[in-house]
């Protein structure tokens, strides 16, 4: 066995911390904010079924491959791909896979930070008691007034970016690891509390039917594209985040076991979020396909009606912020590590450069909901264009490239050595990665090109 490389940036203190950190990267706004509203837009149960298949047949194998690459290379995604390509006797142009992943993470964080800023603002709004006894109409009006104020939205976006870069600047153990230890279990418990409340709304059965009863007559080809893109988005695949976290993974930890735990936890949180939100949607006469504002127009109604709702509502949005926070630090980490490795700058300086660039691009998303609302390209505003470009094009293509590189380019003995998966399980994983994943992603990508 070759001597394992060591990351110059540090290492997670244990396998459990790696799982927690990678789960923190995966579990975020994609589960609590995006999954419920895209499920609403694409018909409910049939979309959920397609999404689960995408996670199992595409997301999980690619996650294992991306972690494998990270731990094998122990560097930033760009340098890892260049190093492993040279090791396999392949073209150094494979480094572009790392570059594209980091660019996707950068673009995603630019609008992710704005949405997380919404959650920060709602911590204050929930604590103020404005939603006590509120109905759906009031919640919608409050949200629309907030989005119409670009200065306020920009202020919360700025605050969240500062919070993110403070954590990243402190390094692997001093910042990233400390940030994820307690936040995700707390979020999980509060989601269970919300599901318990949803059972009392009188519309719990209706919400469950919408979420879990497949109606394929409401499913169109575009929904398959969105489900595939979201499988990559919510698992943080193809954007360098999982690869860089894998580079900090202890050598003795099981890649397959950790990947399965992360995928299960991530999917469970998404389903719980749907079970908490859709009964409230139906009980209050709201529209399931309300779009990106769904989380901010339904949960305030729930908390406004329940005992101690101000307290629990405030805590919930605090933890939504924390979930977004743990994902955001993973999105910017690949760019920071590359600057440290290739530009010779200190970690703090790298954080400032990466953070300011991301913040500036995020202003476009801030304005998408007010001053630039009428400006569109291909029928999408600035935010919608970034979301489509990353989730439906860049992330699946990044995942496809990872599958092809690990499945066809790397030496099989290196792959088997790093993965340490036994017999039939290894052969099954390798077969899926080499044949099923590329075909599935290729079909979806070709369809996405037709939509442009």
H or E element at residue 304: helix 294-305
Q: Check if the beta carbon of residue 147 is closer than 8 Å to that of residue 370.
A: yes
For residues 364 and 306, give the distance between their C-alpha atoms in angstroms, rounded to a whole number: 37
Residue 26's φ and ψ, nearest 5 degrees, are: -75, -45
Sign of the four-CA dihedral 5, 9, 14, 20: negative
pLDDT recorded at residue 442: 79
Q: What is the pLDDT of residues 280-306, one digit of tens each?
A: 878 877 677 666 667 787 778 877 877
Nearest to 243 by CA among 6, 79, 357: 79
- Candidate ranges 71-85, 182-196, 436-450; pick with highest mean pLDDT: 71-85
pLDDT > 80? residue 174: no
Q: Check if the beta carbon of residue 12 is closer than 8 Å to that of residue 250.
A: yes
For residues 369 and 381, give the distance between their C-alpha atoms in angstroms, rounded to a whole number: 8
For residues 406 and 414, give the distance between their C-alpha atoms in angstroms, rounded to a whole number: 10
Q: Which domain holds residue 203?
A: 15-128+151-294+307-451
pLDDT > 90? residue 31: no
Note whether residue 3 is domain-resident: no
Residue with tokens 């999408």: 380
Q: Check if the beta carbon of residue 241 is closer than 8 Å to that of residue 75.
A: no
Q: Give, in order, the Cα–Cα distances in Å from 9 to each of 106, 254, 346.
A: 20, 21, 11
Nearest to 111 by CA among 351, 354, 359: 359
pLDDT recorded at residue 160: 96
Note whether residue 89 is domain-resident: yes
Q: Check if the beta carbon of residue 230 is closer than 8 Å to that of residue 34.
A: yes
The DSSP output letter for 357 is H
Note whether residue 344 is domain-resident: yes
For 281-369, strand residue ranges (E) read: none
pLDDT recorded at residue 146: 92
For 62: left if phi > 0, alpha if psi spans -120 to 50, otherwise beta; the answer is alpha
Residue with tokens 């003795």: 252
Note whether residue 343 is domain-resident: yes
- Binning pLDDT at 50, 70 and 90, where does residue 447 land? low
pLDDT recorded at residue 333: 84
CATH of the domain at 417: 1.10.4160
Tokens of residue 86, six digits: 């040279």
CB neighbour burial string for 157-175, b if at least 16 within 10 angstroms, e if fewer: bbbbbebbbebbbbebeeb
pLDDT recorded at residue 448: 61
pLDDT mean across residues, the chain:
84
SS3 state of residue 377: strand
Tally of structural domains, the chain: 1
pLDDT recorded at residue 155: 96
Question: pTM of this prediction?
Answer: 0.85
pLDDT recorded at residue 367: 94
Nearest to 194 by CA among 276, 310, 299: 276
Note whether residue 164 is domain-resident: yes
H or E element at residue 243: helix 241-247
Computed on alpha carbons and rounded to an integer, the radius of gyration of the chain in Å comes to 21
What angle (nearest 5°) sits at the alpha carbon of residue 425, between those of residues 421 and 429?
90
For residues 337 and 341, give the distance between their C-alpha atoms in angstroms, rounded to a whole number: 6
Note whether residue 7 is domain-resident: no
For residues 448 and 230, give the distance between their C-alpha atoms in angstroms, rounded to a whole number: 13
Residue 38's φ and ψ, nearest 5 degrees, are: -75, -30
Work out the average pLDDT over 222-237: 77
- Binning pLDDT at 50, 70 and 90, where does residue 352 land? very high
Note whether residue 9 is domain-resident: no
Tokens of residue 13, six digits: 């203190």
Note whether residue 136 is domain-resident: no
Nearest to 298 by CA among 312, 282, 310, 314: 282
Query: How many Cβ atoms are within 10 Å of 139's Cβ, its own excluded?
Result: 25
For residues 22 and 180, give the distance between their C-alpha atoms in angstroms, rounded to a whole number: 9
Q: Check if the beta carbon of residue 337 is closer than 8 Å to that of residue 108.
A: no
Residue with tokens 């480094």: 95
């Amino acid at each position: 066995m070759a001597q394992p490389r060591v990351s110059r940036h540090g290492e997670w203190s244990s396998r459990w911390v790696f799982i927690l950190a990678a789960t923190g990267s995966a579990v975020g706004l994609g589960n609590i904010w995006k999954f419920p509203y895209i499920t609403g837009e694409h018909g409910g149960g049939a979309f959920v079924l397609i999404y689960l298949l995408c996670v199992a047949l595409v997301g999980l194998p690619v996650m294992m491959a991306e972690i494998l690459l990270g731990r094998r290379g122990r560097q930033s995604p760009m340098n890892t791909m260049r190093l492993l390509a040279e090791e396999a006797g392949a073209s150094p142009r494979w480094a572009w896979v790392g570059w594209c992943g980091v660019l996707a993470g950068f673009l995603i964080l630019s609008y992710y930070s704005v949405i997380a800023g919404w959650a920060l603002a709602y911590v204050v709004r929930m604590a103020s008691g404005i939603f006590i006894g509120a109905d759906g109409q009031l919640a919608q009006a409050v949200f629309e007034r907030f989005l119409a104020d670009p200065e306020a939205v920009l202020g919360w976006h700025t605050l969240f970016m500062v919070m993110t870069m403070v954590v990243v600047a402190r390094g692997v153990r001093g910042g990233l690891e400390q940030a994820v230890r307690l936040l995700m279990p707390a979020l999980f418990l509060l989601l269970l509390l919300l599901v318990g409340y949803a059972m009392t709304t009188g519309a719990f059965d209706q919400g469950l039917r919408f979420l879990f009863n497949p109606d394929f007559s409401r499913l169109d080809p575009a929904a398959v594209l969105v489900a595939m893109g979201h499988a990559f988005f919510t698992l943080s695949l193809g954007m360098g985040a999982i690869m860089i976290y894998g580079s900090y993974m202890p050598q003795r930890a099981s890649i397959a076991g950790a990947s399965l735990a992360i995928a299960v936890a991530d999917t469970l949180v998404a389903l719980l979020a749907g079970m908490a939100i859709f009964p409230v949607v139906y009980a209050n006469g709201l529209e399931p396909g309300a779009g990106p504002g769904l989380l901010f127009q339904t949960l305030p109604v729930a908390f406004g009606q329940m005992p101690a709702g101000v307290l629990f509502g405030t805590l919930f949005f605090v933890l939504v912020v924390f979930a977004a926070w743990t994902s955001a630090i993973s999105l910017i980490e690949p760019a920071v590590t590359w600057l440290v490795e290739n530009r010779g700058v200190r970690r703090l300086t790298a954080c400032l450069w990466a953070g300011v660039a991301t913040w500036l691009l995020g202003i476009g998303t801030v304005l998408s909901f007010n001053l630039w609302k009428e400006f569109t390209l291909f029928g999408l505003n600035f935010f919608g264009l970034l979301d489509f470009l990353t989730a439906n094009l860049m992330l699946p293509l990044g995942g496809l490239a990872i599958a092809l590189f690990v499945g066809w380019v790397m030496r099989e003995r290196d792959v088997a050595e790093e993965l340490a998966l036994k017999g039939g399980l290894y052969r099954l994983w390798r077969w899926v990665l080499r044949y099923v994943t590329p075909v599935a992603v290729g079909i979806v990508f070709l369809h996405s090109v037709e939509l442009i």
